[in-house]
Structure 1
Amino acid sequence: MPADAWWGWVGPLFVTVLGGALRFLRLGEPYAVVFDETHYIKGAYSLLTFGVERMTLGTEEDPIANRMIMAGDLNIWRRCPTVEECAEYVAHPPLGKWMIAIGEWLFGMTPFGWRFAGAVAGTLSILIMARVARRMTRSTLLGCLAGLLLALDGLHFVLSRTALLDVFLMFWVLAAFACAVVDRDWVRQRLPEMSPLEGAWPQVGMRPWRLAAGACLGAACAVKWSGVFFLLAFAALSLMWDAGAGRALGLRPRLSAALQGLTGAFALVPATVYVLSWSGWFLRAQGWGRNWEQATQAGPGFFVFDSLRSWLGYQVQVLGFHTGLDTRHSYMSEPWQWPLLQRPVAFHYLSPPNACAAKDCSQAVLGVGTPALWYLALPALVVLITRYTAVRDWRAGAVLLAYGAGWLPWFYYAIADNRTMYLFYMLPVVPFMVLALAIAAGLALGPGATASIRRATGAAIVGAGALIVLVNFWWLYPILSGETIPHAAWWARMLMRSWI
């Protein structure tokens, strides 16, 4: 690791503060319910109030209805006639909504309140990115560059300021990857000190960072089921890293021991975290499909058994819902369109009269990545493919595997299931695009002993690329943050006609 431990924290923290300031500035604007916020902010407040997700009674006495009147969104709140019929069928696990509920608890049922947790998760992910990039490249400069690039991505910025689930999925996936990378270093530091028996893989004891990675992956699955793609990928990654460490020391791999270690960290721990995220459903009678009266007819053993049976039945229902989710939407897109940003999602658009210095005004929030960053990431990924093919660079392999885990599975759903999908499904992949750029930048700069001309040329290329990303983000900022601008200025920022 770099010797500049002090700067290794000061630099990433500075970049994090910068990114956090961008995300928290005017966080409550637009003062409206944008895109799918309507589902999650209500579910979060219902969890906060009842412990489970329920519909409103649609009366003035209903506390959720009163809150939504304040938010101006009562008309699209689904209503039910009686308390008994208020159980809400939800298609996503509850952890992301519990995280949104923290902001609603702290700051009330306001746009700032329901977006607060997302802004915190987005800001902390910048710090994690800077630190994990520093660890992987052994460079504080490249770590800070990676954190800055993530802070300047438009899609990451928009979803950090919106009460949707994808920012929390991205956060837990990135945290899990960072823990897995630390575990890799942790094991390799200890293996040479062990005394293997007849060349077999030694027992390195409890691996806290691997367990932490498993817990983060369980949390990712407890936000959205697509977290399971990363769970499988990171389990395979950890197994390959262990095998590589063993071969480097001449140790004979023991598949049974390796799989036994994976079972706890990447099966039992994630499953435990996932089930615990449903605690409100298990402890309340009003949840969808809960069958509380049936479960309480006998003793504690039957209660646990019947509750688990009802819960598993609910999970099967949710799986069926996602499998048949093919409703057409004007902003839907296909996975092969995502890397090129061909069809972003308009989260919010208004034409407020007399709100700017022009006759026609626009207030927009467009969920789109920063094109300069996304397009530069494509050749960077090609560099990583070449790098891994040529020298088996573990960093390149890890980034490529994580990128593929977040992107490639959606091709199956697009082709076989014709599922309704959106560009922002790519958000968990954005950190790995940034890591690809950071690693490619390190290759361009070369090691510290590189000739000054080569290093100066590499520095000029990397600096120019970072400046282009910064200018591109600055140009798009008004349509990412909901500023009210002249309609002509909004139109000029529609870089592709497919953005409209």
Structure 2
Amino acid sequence: MGWKTVETLIVLLVAAVALAVFTWSALGFEELESVKGGKGYVSDEVWYVGSARTILVKVFGLEPRMPGDSYGYTVVYSGQVDYGVLESLAARYGLRLRVDYSDLKAFYVSGSREGLTGFLSEARRYVEVGDVIPGWMMPDHSGINNYLNQEHPPLGKYIIAFTMYVLGDRPFYWRIPLIVLGASTTILLYLSLRRLTGSTIAALAASLLFTADPLVRTLFSIALLDGFVAFTSTLAFYLAVERRHGLAVAASLVGGLFKFTGLFTLIPLLVLYLRQGLRRRPSPYMLVYTLTAFTLLSGLLFLTVLAAVSLPLINYMGLGNWVKYSLLGSITWHTSIKCNGPCPGSSAPWDWFLGVNAFTVYVDPTVAAIGFYPLWSTVLVASIVLAPLVFRDKRYGLQWVFLTGVLAGYVAVWLAGGRSQYSFYSVQLAPFVYGGLVYTAAYALRRENLAYLAGFYRRVSALTVWLLTR
């Protein structure tokens, strides 16, 4: 058996372990909700999955596929309703009825399609029906039947909606794209570290630590947009490792189509382009030219692609409303405090490394969106103390600039007023945390690098003393 075959088997093993871990976690959440009689949603799935279903039904004019021969409708009504009449009507048609809605004036009825058709036809005599959403039961939030999640780009919702249409509309199916992308992210991290270090052991250690992280395990087992962003960010990193910077920019732009934070990987890529330009021509002109050209070209390209991807929404809601709510409105939303009164726990970006102010993803049992914070805090401290190594070790510098560049994006939003940030956003940083951790432990702390750091800090100390004693 050749070494390439062994490497292929290792990659397949890494993928299989990640798939098993994320699948087990996703099924666990589905089982918890089933046992408790819940509606199946975990955390912000209520917004992303709910809007994906609304987009599928109202924007694309399609119905979700329901598993087996069971169909369901969330019926939104106005006025008053006699649930006793509805229950007897549902029993006559052999249907199941759920009336446990409080914020949304609705009920959910499920069973055979023929029975549902007859039920709805007759129920309209007793209920002022305002809307009917086919598929799995909608979340219990007022106006959710018209909510399109316009503060975020639509690509993630399209993928979730596509899964509903092709595979079926049930909690585990919503999560399949994230499970697959989670395994793909793990593979990309392995390949990146393998290329940077030349060590299978180091690459395997980084990928397994990443998979075992509780934040990663949770975010790649539920249908939140941040898992998509973590994948595209890792893809951009891998392409940068392979020196395919143009494709890395493309991956970053695609990440922005899921959530605007996906664009944060453009920050380290800008640094790489600036470095290349200044090496060719070290002048202020080249600095300004590269900075301006990169910003304008990537910005225009992103807006063009975003508009193209959003064409179904533009056709549905009108160009003016799309610009108002999906572009201008989203900027205001991201740079403001999004929640007043009783709110989920928000955090500053540095809190994610310290294990404080974690977002609660699930209540019973408690599941918090936080990583192995002793390791995360170690990486944060190391990124500060070992920062001078970026001038000596290019491989360390590449990992460092991706970690600090993406983190800088979140800090910039926080400084701009976006204080309602949540710890589950940090899954985008997780690949860089564990890649940086393993590389630092195995390679960055070599004797020659430590000697370089000691000399650097001696010079800094001497300069500081000289400045203070002048």
Count the aligned residue pairs.
Answer: 374
Compared with structure 1, are the counterparts of its residues 254 and 316 closer, same or farther at alpha carbon in structure 2 (3 Å cutoff)?
closer
| Code of the aligned partner of 2:324 | G
Is contact 1:215-1:269 (8 Å) kept?
no
Deviation of 1:225 after TM superposition, in Å, equals 1.5
Compared with structure 1, are the counterparts of its residues 413 and 273 closer, same or farther at alpha carbon in structure 2 (3 Å cutoff)?
closer
Compared with structure 1, are the counterparts of its residues 370 and 254 closer, same or farther at alpha carbon in structure 2 (3 Å cutoff)?
closer
Q: Deviations over 1:9-28 (max 9, x none)?
A: 33233112111111112523
Compared with structure 1, are the counterparts of its residues 57 and 87 closer, same or farther at alpha carbon in structure 2 (3 Å cutoff)?
farther
**What does residue range 407-422 of structure 1 map to in structure 2 within 5 Å?**
407-417=407-417, 419-422=419-422
Match among 270, 274, 283 for residue 235 of structure 1: 270
What SS does structure 2 have at the residue aligned with 1:91? coil
Consecutive unaligned residues of structure 1, counting only runs of 5 or more, are 81-85, 184-208, 291-306, 351-362, 451-500
Is contact 1:169-1:223 (8 Å) kept?
yes
Bigger shift: residues 375-384 or 31-40: 375-384
Deviation of 1:259 after TM superposition, in Å, equals 7.2
CA distance in 1: counterparts of 2:362 and 2:417, whole angstroms: 28
Match among 261, 275, 278 for residue 307 of structure 2: 275
CA distance in 2: counterparts of 1:242 and 1:438, whole angstroms: 30
Q: Could you say which residue in structure 1 is the equivalent of 2:387?
A: 385
Match among 250, 260, 263 for residue 215 of structure 1: 250
Compared with structure 1, are the counterparts of its residues 392 and 4 closer, same or farther at alpha carbon in structure 2 (3 Å cutoff)?
farther
Match among 148, 155, 170 for residue 208 of structure 2: 148
**What does residue range 54-203 of structure 1 map to in structure 2 within 5 Å?**
58=76, 65-69=133-137, 73-76=138-141, 78=143, 86=146, 88=148, 90-183=150-243
| Code of the aligned partner of 1:378 | L
1:337 aligns with 2:351: yes
Q: Could you say which residue in structure 1 is the equivalent of 2:332?
A: 320
Consecutive unaligned residues of structure 2, counting only runs of 5 or more, are 31-39, 63-73, 78-108, 110-119, 121-129, 449-470
Q: Deviations over 1:267-293 (max 9, x none)?
A: 5544443333213223x33x2xx1xxx
What SS does structure 2 have at the residue aligned with 1:369? coil
What SS does structure 1 have at the residue aligned with 2:361? strand
Q: Could you say which residue in structure 2 is the equivalent of 1:304?
A: none
Match among 32, 38, 45 for residue 53 of structure 2: 45
Deviation of 1:376 after TM superposition, in Å, equals 3.8
Deviation of 1:241 after TM superposition, in Å, equals 4.1
| Code of the aligned partner of 1:370 | F
Is contact 1:93-1:222 (8 Å) kept?
yes
Deviation of 1:364 after TM superposition, in Å, equals 3.4
CA distance in 1: counterparts of 2:301 and 2:76, whole angstroms: 40
Q: Could you say which residue in structure 1 is the equivalent of 2:463?
A: none
CA distance in 1: counterparts of 2:21 and 2:132, whole angstroms: 31
1:374 aligns with 2:380: no
Q: Deviations over 1:290-338 (max 9, x none)?
A: 1xxxxxxxxxxxxxxxx4x654333112222333334242422222322
Deviation of 1:418 after TM superposition, in Å, equals 5.7
Deviation of 1:52 after TM superposition, in Å, equals 6.4
Is contact 1:43-1:53 (8 Å) kept?
no
CA distance in 2: counterparts of 1:417 and 1:176, whole angstroms: 28
Q: Could you say which residue in structure 1 is the equivalent of 2:97?
A: none
What SS does structure 1 have at the residue aligned with 2:133? helix
Compared with structure 1, are the counterparts of its residues 384 and 269 closer, same or farther at alpha carbon in structure 2 (3 Å cutoff)?
farther
CA distance in 2: counterparts of 1:413 and 1:41, whole angstroms: 25
Compared with structure 1, are the counterparts of its residues 383 and 89 closer, same or farther at alpha carbon in structure 2 (3 Å cutoff)?
closer
Deviation of 1:155 after TM superposition, in Å, equals 0.7
Percentage of identical aligned residues: 25
What SS does structure 2 have at the residue aligned with 1:347? strand
Is contact 1:19-1:126 (8 Å) kept?
yes
Is contact 1:215-1:273 (8 Å) kept?
no
Bigger Rg over Cα: 2
Deviation of 1:172 after TM superposition, in Å, equals 0.8
Compared with structure 1, are the counterparts of its residues 152 and 376 closer, same or farther at alpha carbon in structure 2 (3 Å cutoff)?
farther
Is contact 1:384-1:396 (8 Å) kept?
no
CA distance in 2: counterparts of 1:49 and 1:418, whole angstroms: 32
Deviation of 1:68 after TM superposition, in Å, equals 3.6
CA distance in 2: counterparts of 1:93 and 1:259, whole angstroms: 25
CA distance in 2: counterparts of 1:127 and 1:101, whole angstroms: 26
Deviation of 1:164 after TM superposition, in Å, equals 0.9
Is contact 1:217-1:270 (8 Å) kept?
no
Compared with structure 1, are the counterparts of its residues 383 and 19 closer, same or farther at alpha carbon in structure 2 (3 Å cutoff)?
farther
CA distance in 1: counterparts of 2:9 and 2:196, whole angstroms: 18
Is contact 1:52-1:281 (8 Å) kept?
no
Q: Could you say which residue in structure 2 is the equivalent of 1:485?
A: none
Q: Could you say which residue in structure 1 is the equivalent of 2:26?
A: 27
CA distance in 2: counterparts of 1:89 and 1:373, whole angstroms: 34
Deviation of 1:347 after TM superposition, in Å, equals 1.3
CA distance in 2: counterparts of 1:376 and 1:74, whole angstroms: 39
Deviation of 1:145 after TM superposition, in Å, equals 1.7
CA distance in 1: counterparts of 2:297 and 2:9, whole angstroms: 32
What SS does structure 2 have at the residue aligned with 1:427? helix
Compared with structure 1, are the counterparts of its residues 133 and 21 closer, same or farther at alpha carbon in structure 2 (3 Å cutoff)?
same
| Code of the aligned partner of 1:276 | A
Is contact 1:220-1:227 (8 Å) kept?
yes
Is contact 1:349-1:364 (8 Å) kept?
yes
Is contact 2:52-2:148 (8 Å) kept?
no
CA distance in 1: counterparts of 2:385 and 2:288, whole angstroms: 35
Q: Deviations over 1:162-204 (max 9, x none)?
A: 1111111111111112112212xxxxxxxxxxxxxxxxxxxxx
Q: Could you say which residue in structure 1 is the equivalent of 2:35?
A: none
Deviation of 1:231 after TM superposition, in Å, equals 1.6
Is contact 2:136-2:170 (8 Å) kept?
no
CA distance in 2: counterparts of 1:17 and 1:88, whole angstroms: 35
CA distance in 2: counterparts of 1:97 and 1:333, whole angstroms: 25
What SS does structure 1 have at the residue aligned with 2:218? helix
Deviation of 1:415 after TM superposition, in Å, equals 4.6
Bigger shift: residues 407-416 or 314-323: 407-416
Is contact 1:384-1:400 (8 Å) kept?
no
| Code of the aligned partner of 1:319 | I
Is contact 2:352-2:373 (8 Å) kept?
no
The TM-score normalised by the length of structure 1 is 0.66
CA distance in 2: counterparts of 1:94 and 1:400, whole angstroms: 31
Deviation of 1:102 after TM superposition, in Å, equals 3.4
The TM-score normalised by the length of structure 2 is 0.69
Is contact 1:53-1:88 (8 Å) kept?
no
CA distance in 1: counterparts of 2:330 and 2:361, whole angstroms: 25
Deviation of 1:416 after TM superposition, in Å, equals 4.8
